[in-house]
Homo-oligomer: A and B are copies of this chain.
Amino acid sequence: MTSLFQSHSLRIFFFLFIFSQFIKAQDQASSKSSGLILTEEGLKKIKDNLGQVPLFDRSLQEIKDEVDIEINNGIEVPIPKDLAGGYTHERHKKNYSTAQKAGVLFNILGEEKYANYIKKMLLEYAAMYPKLPLHPEERSYARGKIFWQSLNDSNWLVSMSQAYSSIYNWISKEERATLENNLFKPFADFLSVESPQFFNRIHNHSTWGNAAVGMIGLVMNDEELVDLALYGLKEDNIDETARDNDGGLIKQKGQAAGFLANMEEAFSPSGYYTEGPYYQRYALYPFMLFAKALQNKKPELKIFEYKDGILVKSVYALINLTDADGEFFPLNDAQKGMSYFNNSVIMSVDAAYYYGEHNPMLLSIAKKQGEVTLDDAGLAVALGLKNKEEQEFLKESIILTDGSKGNKGGVAILHSKEDKSRYSLVMKYTSQGDSHGHYDKLSYSFYNDGEEVIQDYGFARFVNIEQKNGGGYLKENTSWAKQSIAHNTIIQNETSHFNGDFDTGTKFHSEKYFSDFSKPDVQIISAKENNAYPGTQMHRTMALINSDIFQKPVMIDIFRVTGAKENQYDLPFYYFGQIIETNFEYNSPEKLEKLGSKNGYQHLWKEAAGISSANNSKFTWSNNNKFYTLTNVTKEGDSLIMARLGASDPQFNLRRDPVYIWRKHKAKDAVFVSVLEPHGSYNPITELGNNSFSQIKEAKILIDNDEYTAVELIGFNKTKLLLVIANKNGEGRHSLRINNNEISWKGNYTIIEN
């Protein structure tokens, strides 16, 4: 630490020296910002504070180091050829990213080498662009010119608009004309009027396209482009059946388009983005950046107040959708490991602080991020941190509604703490989630701090790894990751929810039945899904409970299904780690066969299977030196299957993750009651384990009918816990005779420990 700090101090000193040398030159050159992101006023404040605000100075130094290396390497603008991960793709990405940063450095430091770098690069693009055909790679529904898809071309224009803005006043009128006529105007036209299927959707792609066109419009003072960006194309002639590469519908008939329509439609009033947090993080970038530009150039729009301040709300929602390490819950299509350390979220947190209410909880996130944007917002955050104003960001149990009006289900995130550990349950009862949605009604994942205990698979894709389909979606994303069997929810007759049909899935959403986070020892959520399987009603209630029976909080899961006819029902548990013990017999085959032939089942190898005889089937495993036991209230004849991912996977695209599946073979109605119990620990250095056994002596269903479900847990310490759910009309008063006791309560559930 010491040497880093010393070296850092030296660099700041050096940097201030440089700065003082150029401040005069800068004032002479007419390098006034055109104010797209960096306002005149903001720039002045930044200059006044230079060298005095540690986080800002460090962020500036990091970017300066990065850009200086690139400037030394020289400019390369190759003819587009490659997919993601390939040379030309990565080079053009690096170009726009460096140019944007160089623009910031020019504005703040005034060194002309940065402006020259941008000018030279843009002129090279301007020389190349008019002759460019569509990118040779043909796989996208909306091909780009610089990149294989217009999405990446939009990324380019969002950054280059900022770079151009930075040098707008510094270059000559003639140079501006060259850049605008040969590059920016045709570029914006290509992304908008020439690509309606890309530009005129409610989709993160379009948000990028809208922002790109709008931002360059703001720089060029081209009101027509800005209007296109805000309100979409008036005419688009999009075929009503057209699909994108993910199978998503391009546009519903009569749907609005443009940036404002995307803000309106894509976010729920809670700030949840219907595609899920991984794409929310991605989409937030153009939403926030264009909003910042609009705030500067068109303050009359009051963009940060739009939809009751939805952009700022969405930042809070996004932070709540992270685990203890700041990684996003991988709902819908999502690459694991993506977190609030991503640049897009750094920028969004700074903006939410600055354009919102200067909430000191956001400062603690920014502190962890360790970086700020080099503008008014970033400076405000860095100043807040310098003044030690930060407060811990408290993640309380929360409901995030889905749907533009907040009426299409949602996500519940429940937390329960014990000592220093936090157990989190993420239950999903949303709408489909557009083309990135999975068939995962009433599914959940469970976390022990930053560790996945019961996982959501995420997507089947290696972003930017060229060898894996050019970094694009793999076919296993459709055949596996989106299927219901890939999720911790009930699958009927080995078919996915909505029969895996996107259009059907898009018509429906699950409904919250009730939730209660008011009691410290009980966090509970209950939701229903009546459309995933026609004729079948699904009702799942999940609770995190602290009880004297247990050392740590446990999850109780009551999943009722009511069928119109006899069905097979599967409930998988995607655990991690090593099986320690079961209380039932099972057979391991001599050859491994696939668990099924389609709907994702073809990807699972059946490693072992047993038939339940006891009333409680127990499954204990260990992961990362912790123990977990799943106690399932089984009926005689239920199957218990150990399976593993990896079948029908000729390219080894899937992780070899294990799953434990509870199957009811022929049942019309059924109730799956499970208790997930974290317990004990193991120390590989002392080699001592503690509490490697479940604390549940028995779990019983005392009542289960249309009116009520009552579950009793009996601990080895003789403590008893009774949980009763009113399955319908829950809000009123209830009374019920259980175990020869009359109990009565008001509301959807009651819990009694004795």
Chain A residues close to B by CB (< 8 Å):
85, 90, 335-339, 341-343, 462-468, 578-581, 588, 590-594, 605, 607-608, 620, 622, 642, 644, 646, 648-652, 655-656, 658, 682, 684-689, 692-693
Contact = CB atoms under 8 A, between A and B. Distances in A.
A337 B684 contact: yes
B465 A689 contact: yes
Contacts of A463: 687
Given A338-B684, A689-B464, A692-B466, A591 B592 contact: yes
A683 to B, nearest CB: 9
B588 A465 contact: no
A656 B607 CA distance: 11
8 contacts: A335-B687, A339-B685, A342-B685, A467-B620, A588-B649, A591-B593, A607-B646, A644-B656
Contacts of A464: 687-689
Nearest to A692: B465
Given A593-B591, A605-B592, A682-B465, A578 B652 contact: yes
A685 B344 CA distance: 10
A592 B465 CA distance: 29
Interface of A is mostly: loop
A727 to B, nearest CB: 37
A507 to B, nearest CB: 33
A619 to B, nearest CB: 11
A649 B579 CA distance: 11
Contacts of A581: 467-468
A486 to B, nearest CB: 17
A689 B605 contact: no
A464 B651 CA distance: 40
Contact of A465 (B580, B646, B655): B580
Contacts of A338: 684-685, 687
A205 B401 CA distance: 63
A608 B650 CA distance: 8
A587 to B, nearest CB: 8
Nearest to A607: B646
Given A465-B692, A652-B578, A652-B579, A684 B336 contact: yes
Contact of A591 (B591, B608, B685): B591
Contacts of A592: 591-592, 605
Nearest to A625: B337
Nearest to A651: B579
A95 to B, nearest CB: 14
A624 to B, nearest CB: 11
Contact of A692 (B85, B337, B692): B85
Contacts of A651: 579
B467 A342 contact: no
A326 to B, nearest CB: 10
Nearest to A620: B467
Contacts of A593: 591
Which of A468, A642, A652 has most B Cβ within 10 Å? A652
Nearest to A682: B465
A115 to B, nearest CB: 26
Contacts of A685: 337-339, 341-342
A605 B588 CA distance: 13
